[in-house]
Structure formats: structure tokens, C-alpha cells
Structure 1
Amino acid sequence: MLEVKGLRKEFGQLVAVKDIHFALQPGDIFGYIGPNGAGKTTTLRMLATLLEPTSGTAIVNGIDIVRQPEDARPLIGFMPDFFGLYEGITVWEYLAFFAEAYNIPPRERKQVIENVLELTDLTVKRDTYVETLSRGMQQRLCLAKTLLHDPLLLLLDEPASGLDPRARAELKELLREIGAMGKIVIVSSHILPELSDFCNKIGIIEKGELLLWGDVDDILRQLQPARLLTIRCLDGADKLAEWLRKQPEIVNVQVVNSTVEAQFVGDDEAQAELLRRIILDGHRIATFSETTMNLEDVFLRVTKGEVA
């Protein structure tokens, strides 16, 4: 597992990361969310042992990254936002170079490279020169390089930056597969839609401070304890709104553009029962749906728009 304990980084008078704490288990995909300049990259560089914390530490599978950085590094794979790709070499040669750098035994390298090429769907590009690859393929190649030594913890800094919609969708699917392999994945981003489909945990950082972190569903329930029901009635919104205001499970009702929006307190069974009663009372319902908060709503709710 990964346990972050009071991680802090100061650059002179600037506190880039302020004593953050969180813990993740194998299989967790953690969306690390924040505006530019919030401290995301600084956090990842400290976890990757590339930047020494001012105070605090992190424990990866029982190994302290500050006291035992050499022992921690084999467990960590770091993919920076901007990465160098050497020109004049093929995809296979690029991966073979890093496989040797990671001290993968020579007799195992060929199979390891084949495995990461297959996982990242780059097998057909094995003899292609790296500088001729598209941006999306280069991202895949950097991820393949990051996976060569089979790290437990993957740190991905803005991995979808500059990708087209199809490449983003393919990257999401690849990250789901990696999470299913039992690895811990931390994905930093300020583009929320790319995280909402595959992260099971999130953390929101602003001005170096971790405002909240935890399971996505738990956070949504905390911030939106009542369900928001959107109902369109063929008999008119005002009549239905008046009926709903008399129901004990409804805490607030408003009419918006001929549609009723009602805040409902109850589970799925109670929601189904409410719909049944609405229909039995003679209201003709055209649409009945529940609107839930998304990561963008959460981000706007808890942040103030400040940067360090």
C-alpha cells in the first residue's frame, strides 16, 4: 500500500505542498485534481524520490521513500508531463535501453518488452522510429517504459495532455487495465472529465493544501446528501410541484423551464415508490431522472480559485 504522511515542500517563502496525508491500496486509481500551480507535480516528484521533501514522508509497501529512496525506486514508476524521446532509435531500442537501465536481467528483457508492447498496444510499432510516432503513441511508449520494471506504484503527471479524444479514450481503457492488475495509480490532472470514468478515489489540492480526499462515491454523498430528481410532467410542472411539496421525502422543489427539480432524501426503493405514487395520483410523467454531481461540480464546490 501507499501511505503519505505529512508531506511538505517549501521553496524559500513559498509552501508548494502543505503537510498532505492520504493512503491508497493496490487497485486504487487516484485522481489528483487541482488547477495549474496547485502542487500536483511537486507532490508526484516527491513521491518519485526526485525531490526531497522539506518534511514528512511516504511509505510504499513498508519502505520509507525519504530514508530508503534506493529501495523504494524499484517499486515506483513515474511518467512526467514532458518526457524526452531520443531520436534515431526504434521503439524496441528505446525500451531495450531502459530495460537495461532498470537492471532487468538480459535473459528476461525480450519477454518483458514484448509484454509491455502488447499491454500498451504498440506491438505493430516496435520497429518504428520514436520521433515519427503521434503524440498519443508517444504517450503510450512512455507508459510502456514506465511499466518495464513492473512497479507497484504508478505516478502519471497529466498523461492525457495534448491527446485527441480517441487517444484519451484509449488511455482511459489502458489505465483501467493497469488498475485491474493490482497496481496503485495516481493520475494528476486539471481536466476533470478525463478522470471521472475510471478513478475510484480522488484528492483535490489547491494552493498546496489537500482540501479533501477519499472514495468518489463517499465524497459525492457527503456533498450532495439529497438526490436531485428532474421530472417533466405532461399535465404541467406547477401542479406536480405542488403535490411534491406535500411529500415527506422531498426537502425542496423548484420549477425550471417547465421541468420540476426536487431534492429527495431516500434510497432506490423509496425513489421507485415515489414514482409509483406520482403516477397513481394521476400525473402523466414524460421523463423522470436523477441528476448526480460530477467531479467538476465537486471541484467547484470545494475550491476557491486560488493558486500559490
Structure 2
Amino acid sequence: MMAPLGSQAVDTPVPPVGQLIAVILSCVLAVAAVTYVVTLYRRERIVWPFFVLASGVVTSLMEPFFDLMYGLHFNREGQWNLYTTFGSAQPVWVPICYSAFYGCAAVFVARSLARRPTMRSVWRMYGAIVGMAIVAEMTFVSVLGVYGYQDSQPFVVLGYPIFLGFTNAMSALVGGIIVYRLVPLLDTFGKRLSLVAIIPQAFAAGLFGTGILYLSVRHSVDDPPMWLVSLAALTVVGGIAATVRLLGRHLVAEAPHSTGVVVGIDGESSDSGSAVGTQAKSKARL
């Protein structure tokens, strides 16, 4: 039976080995992300990736609301709990994992687009992130058993509603596109600090913006017909695809670009972007 907003989930003990592996995997990913960002700073003297990495960590604060709305449940018995809000107990590994999957991924997207600003690059990276999201969640749900999706869910494979992989990928991709366009314009510490808010906003736009029709159907009655829930879930995927196409065309493929402060090398702009290119060359790398 599909439970409406505010329902209680069924709790089971957290597998000790699964929890330990989840923590270790998250820490390995986080260490790799930090190493990547530090390497960029040492090699290219750019600091903006640190703010984007922090943005990924901050995004983890939105996880409890996602859990409530989409039916994800972290088992509490035996869990290494960090805090509880919106009725969701958050494991210690969640913010650690977010730093890599959302923060570092957005850094990689921004730098990749600075080198190859094409729609093909946008779609290729989106597909790669979707694939990683689906594999990662299936592993944590079905192999490690540290959380699960409650109630009836559409398009479930190995315990994971795979349509959510498209929504999770949007945060890193759209965040990276916005960072790619904004970084050349941010020439002070205060302006760069504003990058911390980017990934949470992209997360909210994907999951609660394009997802509003699905969430409205899901929480409308106790047991909405699965065909209707499935149809509503497809609007999430379609809305995100339209958003990616819109931003990719107008902020990447058809927009003048400046690569300098994004990739740490002297960049050039064309047409209306020439002022940005001049500014990027005349200032220390971000």
C-alpha cells in the first residue's frame, strides 16, 4: 500500500557489515574528491572548487525532506545516526557521500564543459551520472541493505525506483552548468562563497520542482493507482530532460564561453563574452 505524507515506515536492523562498507565506500569517495580539488589548487591555483565541494555537503541537509516525500527510509536500529529531522534519521555517511557525488561531480562537469562546451558533452555526462546514481543506489539498497524505499514505488529494479536516478543526476549536472557560467564572473571571496548555494538549489529544482506532479499524485490518497503513479513518475524524467536540454543549449552550446578561471589556464571569449575573458585574464585565478 502506498503511504501518504506523514506515514510511518517499517524499520529493520541495519546490517553491521553493510553499514561499515557504506561508511568506508563514502569515505574513499570523499577522500578522492578532496584530493582532486586540492590537486587542482596546487596545480592551477583555483579555489572555486572548494566552494562547490562544500555546496555538495550542504545539499545533504535536504536529504531528510527528500526521504519524507519520496518514501526513502534509513533503518534506525543499529544505525550510526548523525541527526534526525522530518522523521528521517540520517546516517553519518550521507554528507560524506554527498561531497563526492554532488560537489565533486559538479566541479568535474564545469571543467569538462569549459573544454568541450557542446550538447554532446552535456548529454554524455548526464548519462554517465545517471548510470553511476543507479548503480550506487542499487548497491546501497540491495547489497548493503542500509536503507530502502517504502510503500509501492514505480519502476523498481533491485529495490530501487530507477526513475530517481535521473533526478539525482540533475543536481550535479545542472549545478555544474551553472558553476561553469558563473565562475568567470566571480572575482571576490564573497561572490565565490555564493557558489555554496548552487547545488542545493539544483537539487530542489529537480526533485521538488520537476517532481511536483509526481509528489502531488503520490501523496494525494492512501493508495493511488500504480498506472497513475508511474505516469506521473515519467513526467519527472521528462521535465528534467527538458531542463537539461534548455540549459545545455542556451548556457553551453550556443553561449560565448570563457575557459580561463574554470580550467586554470588562460581562456578566451568571443563576442559578448569578451569582457568576461578580459576580466578572467587580468585577475588571479579563482
Q: TM-score, normalised by structure 1?
A: 0.21
Point out the structure with the larger helix share.
2
Q: TM-score, normalised by structure 2?
A: 0.22
Point out the structure with the larger strand share.
1
Structure having the higher Rg: 1
